[in-house]
Amino acid sequence: MGYQVYERNGRDMGYGVPSLCDQPGCNSHIDRGLGHLCGEEPGGDELGCGLYFCSSHLYYGSNGACQCDRCLNAEEPYEPKPDVPEWINWKLTDPSWGAWRMDHMDEVAKLNEELDALAKEWIS
């Protein structure tokens, strides 16, 4: 299995997926690669929540795993941030995603709605 782009628990992950740090209030641009992962297993495990953080919000825990502040303190995880417009647009327009779009028409419609809402938000 490659780790450039894959899906787990309904979320696109991998070093090919641009994103924002999942820390509330932080808008650092990262990717959802293993180097930004809280824990050792994408999607979460006993060591972390499976969210993605910039280097300012990811720490080495005493168990040797990289963890966010919530996991270091055994607290409930943050809510994951939504996909960034760059990623949504890529999935909707890049030829490499053509077959996926044909097989996921409902999701394509939903992503188009999300992109339209984001565009209106930026204009306001």
End-to-end CA distance of the chain, in Å? 42
Q: Is residue 53 a contact partner of residue 68, using CB atoms and an 8 Å limit? A: yes
CB neighbours (10 Å) of residue 59?
15
Q: Which of 25, 70, 27, 19 is nearest to 35 (CA)?
A: 19
Q: Which of 26, 28, 29, 3 is nearest to 16 (CA)?
A: 3
Residue 5 has pLDDT above 70, yes or no: yes
**pLDDT tens-place string over residues 45-85:** 888 999 999 999 999 877 788 999 999 999 999 999 999 99
Average pLDDT, the chain: 91
Q: Is residue 37 a contact partner of residue 66, using CB atoms and an 8 Å limit? A: yes
